[in-house]
Amino acid sequence: MAIIQFPQDMKWGAATASYQIEGATNEGGRGQSIWDTFAKTPGNIVNGDNGDVACDSYHRYEEDVELLKELGVDVYRFSVAWPRILPNGTGEVNQEGLNYYHRLVDKLLENGIEPMCTLYHWDLPQTLQDNGGWGNRETIDAFVKYAEVMFNEFSGKIKHWLTLNEHGAFHFYQIILVCMPQETKICNLLHKFLITCYWLMGKR
């Protein structure tokens, strides 16, 4: 029986999502996301649980990086909370939010762990959702501007970027199972996501 081995240059990693681990939803100038609204709507989440504290990674990121180093990972894929960078989805940039991610990325690099950044892991700023969310073409423009802020801010530090996390799953759970913050028709949303990816390809 043949023994299948991983390539010698295989990189091992771990991954998280901002809403699942950061907490500090009302700290550091962060705006509200659709997950904040959804989780705090009575009847949506068992026991009324929410991400206000979560794993408290916003305050304990140094411990988290130590754990990653102990695990021996080469890469850490994390997502950025869009409303922590642009509290209203567009407009003024929240420097305090950028500073948090700089501290995280610097700590990863100090420990020999390569940062890999996901720009969108389903936490759309609530202000954009109030204006139609991904069903509104203006959300694409807002996302491109948000991405440009991140690309410019972390140029040289972050070499690998992911745009939209599992957009197929996002819409499946959201539209079909109705267990996530609601949007509009799935084909329309997938179309908007694909346009967003197209625009971003020209930015990198």
Amino acid type, 190: L
Question: For residue range 9-40, what is the model confidence (pLDDT) as tens digits?
Answer: 999 999 999 999 999 999 999 999 999 998 99
- Where is pLDDT greater, at 195 or 24? 24
Exposed/middle/buried for residue 12 (C-beta within 10 Å: 0-12, 13-18, 19+): exposed
DSSP letter (8 states) at residue 33: B
pTM, to two decimals: 0.86
Percent pLDDT > 70 in the chain is 81
Question: For residue range 154-174, what is the model confidence (pLDDT) as tens digits?
Answer: 999 999 999 887 666 665 555
Rg (CA), the chain: 17
Q: What local confidence, expressed as pLDDT, does residue 2 receive?
A: 83
Report how far residue 173's alpha carbon sits from residue 6's, in angstroms, rounded to the nearest whole number.
Answer: 33
Average pLDDT over residues 119-126: 93
Q: What local confidence, expressed as pLDDT, does residue 155 receive?
A: 96
Q: What local confidence, expressed as pLDDT, does residue 82 receive?
A: 98
Domains and CATH numbers, the chain: 13-201 (3.20.20.80)
Q: What local confidence, expressed as pLDDT, does residue 175 receive?
A: 54
b/e per residue, 146-179, with b = 16+ CB within 10 A?
bbebbbebbeeebeebebbbebeebbeebbeeee
Are the beta carbons of 91 and 128 closer than 8 angstroms? no
Question: For residue range 77-100, what is the model confidence (pLDDT) as tens digits?
Answer: 999 999 999 999 999 999 999 999
Report how far residue 149's alpha carbon sits from residue 146's, in angstroms, rounded to the nearest whole number.
Answer: 5
